Amino acid sequence: MRSRFSKLRPLGRRILPSQLRQCASVPAAELQFGQPLHETHPHLLKAGELTPGITALEYAQRRSKLAAKLPKDAIAILAASEVKYRSGAVFYQFHQESNFFYLTGFNEPDAVAVIGKSVDGDDHTFHLFVREKDAKAEQWDGVRSGTRAALDIFNADETGDINKISNLLAPIVRGASTIYTDLISEPKNQKSFFPRFLHEQSSKAEGLAKVLESSNILPLKDVVNDVRNLKSDGEIANMRKVGQASGRAYTDAMRQAWATEKDLAAYLDFRFKTRGCDCSAYIPVVAGGQNASIIHYTQNDHLLIDGQMVLVDAGGEFGGYITDITRTWPISGAFAPAQKDLYNAVLTTQRHCISLCRANANVSLDELHNVAETGLKDQLKQLGFDMSRNALGTLFPHHLGHYVGLDVHDTPGQSRKTKLQPRQCVTIEPGLYIPNTEAYPAHFRGMGIRIEDSVCVQEEHPLVLTTEAVKEVDDIEALRI
């Protein structure tokens, strides 16, 4: 079967006859781009999808929504992530900047997107500046999509070589009424704009700096957060898929006995991938015994000892989307009486808070946190804890939850004081961490328990995205029978 390059265009860009001659028919299997596409990876993407689960049309609609929030003749400038190096020539796995990825679907480094609203305010222009094709560089560092694909695959209106970015960007900036960007950390320090993506000579960079100095520059993140806040059907489906795969990996892990934190961490990473995730979403917490009291414990190098519990905070990633899960279970497979009591205190509180993740409950994340504090305090009193003064601040030191989506802590800076709305996705993660001191009942000392699910808010009831990770005491214990 043979395919024309022009047929890859998801939104149907017009191609001139001279360009068609340059895009002579080639076998579909020989087409190569800097990321998977349906034509090259039909096992990963469906027809019409630009990234797994998300169509080219949806990316275009996202840009339209962003442009609608901008003043007339304003532009938004975003940059892709750079390749980050661990040491010398050893690089980390590439992870795209989330806002850039959300608006473009382009998953390569060293790129700039400019979304400009027209003077009449009824339309917008999408510029995508990328690395040009380079056979020698691609032999060493992998295939690039190039400027032709920026037009035909990613539906840019205009494109250009990122190595000429200052010449390409200067006239766009000069003609804008307002510039929205997060690339400039301080409005008076325009040079902070450059290191992310500018690869030309300093003299040309200084020319762009002079243009920027006279521009009206505002932060972009709040505008993008408004667009990213409510998840689409495709986004929710991706998060449900990765939540299901990750949850089943957890349940697989609970069925087995583990001798070390490292072995359990490695198993989860393996099972996330074999169950359909692209990778782990973040460095996992695999914390046995008192290590569970360290909220972001990632050493994962201790022994797991029968009689203690292990707290695991991990999750997979699919198509850029993640779900965040924490489970705590007994290393032996059976809860001791005190472990069961403290565990059920956390679980009862978590179940109640999840039940309120619906629009008609009219609550915010901050208000849910207050509900969790009240619930945990009441549960602890029944277990014999002295809850005077600020005891709960020590035993439950973190917030109940955060937004989740493309990022573990999604839409950073978004207030947790606003009421939850349908299509928002959040985590609900109460926890108790008991210091090993005489201030607390002896049979609970040294325990750390957290139970976390990712939840999609709906109008009348919550959609738990991670329900396959078992969490009832009877269900956990039954896995070893």
What's the confidence (pLDDT) of residue 207? Answer: 64
Q: E strand or H helix at 18, and its extent? A: helix 17-22
Bridging pattern class, strands 179-181 and 217-218: parallel
Question: Is residue 4 situated within a structural domain?
Answer: no
Bridging pattern class, strands 26-27 and 431-433: unpaired
Q: What is the pLDDT along the chain (481 residues), one digit of tens a residue?
A: 223 233 344 444 433 333 333 444 555 556 789 999 999 999 999 999 999 999 999 999 999 999 999 999 999 999 999 899 999 989 999 999 999 999 999 999 999 999 998 777 678 999 999 999 999 999 999 999 999 999 999 999 999 999 888 889 889 998 899 999 988 755 444 444 544 555 444 455 666 666 776 678 899 999 999 999 999 999 999 999 999 999 999 999 999 999 999 999 999 999 999 999 999 999 999 999 999 999 999 999 999 999 999 999 999 999 999 999 999 999 999 999 999 999 999 999 999 999 999 999 999 999 999 999 999 999 999 999 999 988 999 999 999 999 999 999 999 999 999 999 999 999 999 999 999 999 999 999 999 999 999 999 999 999 999 999 999 999 999 999 8
303 and 222 co-located in one domain? no
E runs forming strands in 236-277: none
User: Angle at which helices 56-68 and 221-228 pack, to 10 degrees?
Assistant: 130
Question: Is residue 23 situated within a structural domain?
Answer: no
DSSP code of 408? S
Q: E strand or H helix at 87, and its extent? A: strand 85-87
- Residue 349 CA to residue 264 CA, distance in Å, equals 27
234 and 143 co-located in one domain? no
- Note down the domain range covering 359: 229-478
Question: Is residue 7 situated within a structural domain?
Answer: no
What's the confidence (pLDDT) of residue 129? Answer: 96
CATH number at residue 456: 3.90.230.10
183 and 238 co-located in one domain? no
178 and 152 co-located in one domain? yes
Bridging pattern class, strands 453-456 and 425-428: antiparallel
DSSP string, 303-353: BP-TTSEEEEEE-EEETTEE--EEEEEETTSS--HHHHHHHHHHHHHHHHH
What's the confidence (pLDDT) of residue 166? Answer: 82
470 and 448 co-located in one domain? yes
CATH number at residue 96: 3.40.350.10
Name the domain boundary from 208, 226, 244. 226
Of 9, 3, 96, nearest in space to 60 by CA: 9
Structure tokens that stand for 108 in this block: 């390569």
Structure tokens that stand for 349 in this block: 């509180």
- Residue 479 CA to residue 469 CA, distance in Å, equals 12
Structural domains in the chain (count): 2
221 and 273 co-located in one domain? no
Any bridge partners for residue 54, and if so which? Answer: 51
What's the confidence (pLDDT) of residue 215? Answer: 76
Q: E strand or H helix at 112, and its extent? A: strand 112-117
> Is the full-model pTM beyond 0.85?
yes
Of 188, 198, 137, nearest in space to 167 by CA: 198
What's the confidence (pLDDT) of residue 165? Answer: 87
265 and 191 co-located in one domain? no
Name the domain boundary from 176, 194, 226. 226
What's the confidence (pLDDT) of residue 200? Answer: 46
Where would I find the H helices in 335-426?
Answer: 337-355, 365-382, 391-395
86 and 218 co-located in one domain? yes
- Residue 99 CA to residue 80 CA, distance in Å, equals 9
